[in-house]
Structure 1
Amino acid sequence: MKKSLLALAALGAFAGVAHAQSSVTLYGIIDEGFNFNTNAGGSHLYNLSSGELQGSRWGLRGTEDLGGGLKAIFVLENGFDVNNGKLGQGGLLFGRQAFVGLSSQAGTVTLGRQYDSVVDYVGPLEVGDQWGGYIAAHPGDLDNFNNAYRTNNTVKYTSSNYGGLTFGGTYSFGGQSGNFTGNQIWSLGAGYNNGPLQLAAAYLNSRTPAASGGLFNNGGTATAANAAVTNTIYSGFASANTYQVIGAGGAYTFGAATIGATYSNIRFGNLGSAFASPFKGQSATFNNGEVNFKYQLTPALLVGAAYDYTRGTQVEGNSRAQYHQGALGIDYFLSKRTDVYVTGVYQHATGDTVNAAGDVVAATANINNLTPSTSQNQFTARVGIRHKF
């Protein structure tokens, strides 16, 4: 009798496995275009670049139904450069995302290389994550709304959707023996999306972000701590012990038009911790505000405009650096999967800042992910094509 019961139990288990539903999806984006930059290190620059509106990528997304509403999920996502075929994100094979986890009605828990809560909740409301691409992101993407930095060794929780409300958080283990908080990164966020209204808020905290393995330096290529940040807007503050972002945003759609706004407060606390700084123990703070607008002229044609203002309350000995940035864009969809677009961004800088060597210098323009300007002004324009598969 016992043997019969054991046999039936074993057959039932195998039957459950045999009927489990699973799927794996291959997906990707190829984004390529021609750029013009009025001041790239003092000269005009004409070039092709990959992944401006969205990063060029391919990935695998999988799910398996484990029964009882429980699912196993995974994502492996690679970034690449269309122009030369090289890997993105510092040469990592799956540098964009790589995680595995479980999902149920109680929410989703995943482990691996992932996005923080600022990226997940507030990021989609800034123009850089919409029609503007990375050149229209906030100066230097200093608040990480445009996902310049991803988190390794991360445990992440994402709630189910409760009438348009979602929330979640991440914790990244620093992995330092005898120092539990070394290089740790954590974030919390929440969003509401119901009908025409979108709202979001999030918090990000990172210890020693420019140290080896820290948030600014986890792509695997930088050989020196201060090489992890190349953008002149905040390269002089990368020695901080703590990098903190408080962000919020909202958008409202009426008819074919959407108006939105975001705010972020960025603090580089206790300079001189990750590496030497003449401003040891001091802190630097930035405040950023953006307003954006887009209008769907036809089902195939989108136009957009945005203005962004960044103000730094920085270390003693220099005035407050300010950055004014405007962006315009047109996006035309040839099909559901292919579109062509034109984007233009202008940035003007005033005041003083601190360079990577710790010297107080005049602030210069540096549009996100571009070669810094040698003057207070910089303008870039791009004509591109994007295909999704």
Structure 2
Amino acid sequence: MTKIRLTLAASGLLAAATVHAQSSVTLYGLIDAGLMYTNNVKKGTAQGALWQATSGNINGSRWGLRGAEDLGGGLKAVFVLENGFNVQNGKLGQDSRLFGRQAYVGLSSGQFGTLTLGRQYDSLVDFVSPLSGTAGTFGDTGFAHPFDNDNLNHSLRMNNAVKYASANYAGFQFGGLYAFSNNTQFAVNRAYSAGASYTWGPLNVAAGYLQINGSTGTSSSSSGAVDIGESTANGTGGFVLGADVQRTVGAGINYTFGPAVVGFVYTHSQYQGTTSFGQTNVNNSGTMRFDNYELNGRYTFTPAFHIGIAYTYTDGSVGNGSNTAFGSDPKWNQVNLQAVYMFSKRTDVYAEAMYQHVSGHQYVAFINTAGGASSTGNQVVATVGFRTRF
């Protein structure tokens, strides 16, 4: 009898261990803190150099929970809850959302792909951004194109989103997203996107498309696909991009030569209809257009030390219909440099420098991570920082 009881107990422990192995929940995170110098910032009537402590200068500081449960037959239930925060003052990010970076649940199959529902990234972020200087493994936030006009730096995340990501078919992947308006006017404040990528040896190419309908006038309390509040706008420092219809298309290519990776990314963003731009509204007959041309490169000297460089030329056009005084064709040039030294796989120190020059009717320079817009058409930002991951 004793032998039978011991056998049953051992069987129960084995079964429990098997169930545990089939389900997992992982706590993860990243903390990025630094010190930044900006040569020229204008705030109200004051202007001059700005020194500041930063959080998330490259990668937004975050923590999250990632889980999966094996449902059998190659099918898994998956979820992600990801919080953003400011390490310098402990405040929540993304308009004080608990899980403002990502929050979704879904089903995943190694054969058929993954279907998820919740607050998620669009297809440009998934497919094109990894080939750009805005990649999370590269310059990310500071290397964003002016005002993050193409959303490669995910200034906007998609609420109420149903998203599909395919499995990897011999290097080819594709996906798409639809974000509901949650409004009785179905077409107001909704979004959809699609993208694809292909990897063959050292070559990686990708393309994507994003359309947002009716983002003008939305706020952090909006129930629709996107929120464009004061602190969630494309860019910061008072610059807000929103329109009746926003369309962005982009493509990129990377090629690896031993320790070096070089890339090119092109995006075209067009804002049509009643468009907000900073404190100015472009009327219904007006449009804004941004064409971004980016060259980037990275070189790994040793497993612990690498550098990166990116140059972006942005050709803009802003028209206000009959109000020709506001119409203009601004041009942006931005050069970004980065050096990273890794103490371990989890912890590194970095140094960055960014320079932006803009020309055009009453335009001033504004680098994405700076503490505010310049008083002139030029701005320089330099940062040293420390990152650790868990």
TM-score of the superposed pair, with normalisation by structure 1: 0.87
Residue deviations 1:7-32 (CA, integer Å, cap 9, x gap): xxxxxxxx99x847110011000111
Q: In 1, Cα distance between the equivalents of 2:283 and 2:186?
A: 26
* 2:265 counterpart (254, 262, 265): 262
Alpha-carbon offset, residue 322 of structure 1: 0.3
Identity %: 46
8 A Cα contact 1:216 1:228, kept in partner: no
Quote the Cα distance in structure 1 between the aligned partners of 2:272 and 2:255: 34
- The answer as to 2:249 corresponding to 1:246 is yes
| Number of the residue aligned with 1:93 | 98
State the alpha-carbon separation in 2 of the partners of residues 40 and 366 from structure 1. Answer: 9
- Residue 296 of structure 1 aligns to a residue in which SS? strand
Partner of 1:134: 141
- Equivalent in 103, 119, 131 of residue 113 of structure 1: 119
Q: Number of matched residues?
A: 358
Aligned to 1:37: 38
TM-superposed CA distance for 1:36, in Å, is 0.3
Distance 1:273 1:342 in 2: 34
The answer (yes or no) to whether the contact 1:210–1:228 under 8 Å persists in 2 is no
Do the aligned partners of residues 77 and 135 (structure 1) sit closer, same or farther apart at CA in structure 2, a change above 3 Å counting? same
2:8 aligns with none
In the alignment, which residue of structure 2 is the partner of 1:217? 227
- Which residue matches 1:26? 27
CA distance in 1, matches of 2:338, 2:112: 40
Give the Å deviation of 1:194. Answer: 3.0
Structure 1 pair 210–323 and aligned structure 2 pair: CA distance change class (3 A): same
Cα distance in structure 2, aligned partners of 1:202 and 1:50 = 30
Provide the rounded CA distance (Å) in 2 between the counterparts of 1:372 and 1:215: 28
Aligned counterpart in structure 2 of residue 289 of structure 1, from 293, 298, 314: 293
Structure 1 346/287 Cα, relative in aligned 2: closer, same or farther at 3 Å?
same
Residue 81 of structure 1 pairs with residue 86 of structure 2: yes
Secondary structure in 1 matching 2:319: coil
Q: Deviations over 1:55-113 (max 9, x none)?
A: 11110000000001110000000011100111011100000000000011211100000
Unaligned ranges ≥5, structure 1: 1-14, 353-361
Question: In the alignment, which residue of structure 2 is the partner of 1:124?
Answer: 130
Contact 1:302 1:330 in 2 (8 A): yes
**Deviation above 3 Å: which 4+ runs of structure 1?**
227-235, 272-278
Question: Is the Cα–Cα contact under 8 Å of residues 140 and 233 in structure 1 kept in the other structure?
Answer: no
In the alignment, is the contact (CA less than 8 A) between 1:272 and 1:281 conserved in 2?
Answer: no
How far is the alpha carbon of 1:277 from its aligned partner? 3.5
Question: Whole-Å Cα distance in 2 between the matches of residues 273 and 296 of structure 1?
Answer: 42
Q: 1:280 is paired with a residue of what secondary structure?
A: coil
Q: Equivalences for 1:171-182 in 2 at 5 Å?
A: 171-177=178-184, 179-182=185-188
1:307 equivalent in alignment to 2:281? no
Bigger Cα displacement from structure 2, 30-39 vs 134-143: 134-143
2:52 is the counterpart of 1:47: yes
- CA deviation digits over 1:291-328, x for unaligned, max 9? 00110011111011111000112205233100000011
1:93 & 1:136 partners in 2: Cα distance? Answer: 26
**Structure 1 residues 222 and 215: alpha-carbon distance in aligned structure 2, compared to 1, 3 A threshold:** farther
Q: Does the 8 Å CA contact 1:131/1:331 hold for their aligned counterparts?
A: no
Find the aligned partners of 1:231 and 1:78 in 2 and give their Cα distance.
Answer: 20
8 Å Cα contact 1:273-1:280 kept in structure 2? no
For residues 22 and 200 of structure 1, do their structure 2 counterparts lie closer, same or farther at Cα, with a shift above 3 Å needed? Answer: same
Is the Cα contact below 8 Å between 2:156 and 2:233 reproduced in 1?
Answer: no
Cα distance, 1:272 vs structure 2? 5.1
User: How big is the shift at 1:211?
Assistant: 3.0
